[in-house]
Amino acid sequence: LYGYCYQDSEDIPDTLTTITELGAPVEMIQLLQTSWEDRFRICLSLGRLLHHLAHSPLGSVTLLDFRPRQFVLVDGELKVTDLDDARVEETPCTSSTDCILEFPARNFTLPCSAQGWCEGMNEKRNLYNAYRFFFTYLLPHSAPPSLRPLLDSIVNATGELTWGVDETLAQLEKVLHLYQSGQYLQNATAGGRAEYQRLPGSTIPQEDYRCWPSYHHGSCLLSVFNVAEAVDVCESHAQCQAFVVTNQTTWTGRQLVFFKTGWSHVVPDPNKTTYVRASLT
């Protein structure tokens, strides 16, 4: 939300106009075809948004109409734009039987506080909707194997509402730290790797192959933490014989690398470094 204004007209008194950020609509089928890194960014931004809603100056805010079409993507991050169905008041209650959180697939019963409010209902409604519309589809699919247990625990905990928003965000931030720092690669071994010759200031303009998910539809362009991970990726692709490290990075600071089927035509390029397979160790 960028701003709002009230204005009176002859037809409609007390008209409210909101000015929201312009972004791309959320298309789930397209998101499933993007890299895990980009999908994780969406989930992380959603976790941060839910934390903000749970701790807003107005109190805990819930989105009653929580669906992908209520959001837009701005620079790879999720933003909510439809605020018509936002509610601040918690649900009043006299017992826990008044605190049933209903969803199409299942229901949850929350405690009734001594003050007569359903505890955390606004927060838990947002969190379960985030699970069923976003986390369950975007978080685990094609994630780095060493991060899967933590990602599965996030999906399971939000699906069962055993965590609140604070713990969910803390675990998402932990995933970001492990991924961004390269710690998720600690158990990788160098045994059986081929040797690669480094050719600075050069690139391979052709000899591409396709892989999935790739940042480029006509070639295999992936992000890596370092050269050692690029070697592991190349070794895992049967057709890979070389790779080109670019000076471009993703939102986490990881380098973008083109993987190639050969190196018959290497040309100068001051912004790239080529690595070609030399011999097996």
Residues annotated as part of the active site:
65
Return the C-alpha torsion angle 223, 226, 228, 234, nearest 10: 20
Cα gap 231→226, rounded to integer Å: 9
Nearest alpha carbon to residue 15 among 24, 6, 23 = 6
CB 122 within 8 A of CB 61: yes
Nearest alpha carbon to residue 224 among 205, 238, 244 = 244
Nearest alpha carbon to residue 132 among 149, 166, 108 = 108
**Sign of torsion over alpha carbons 131, 132, 138, 144:** positive
Residue by residue, DSSP assigns 93-110 as -SSGGG-EEE-SS-EEE-
Q: For residue 226, give the amino acid letter.
A: N
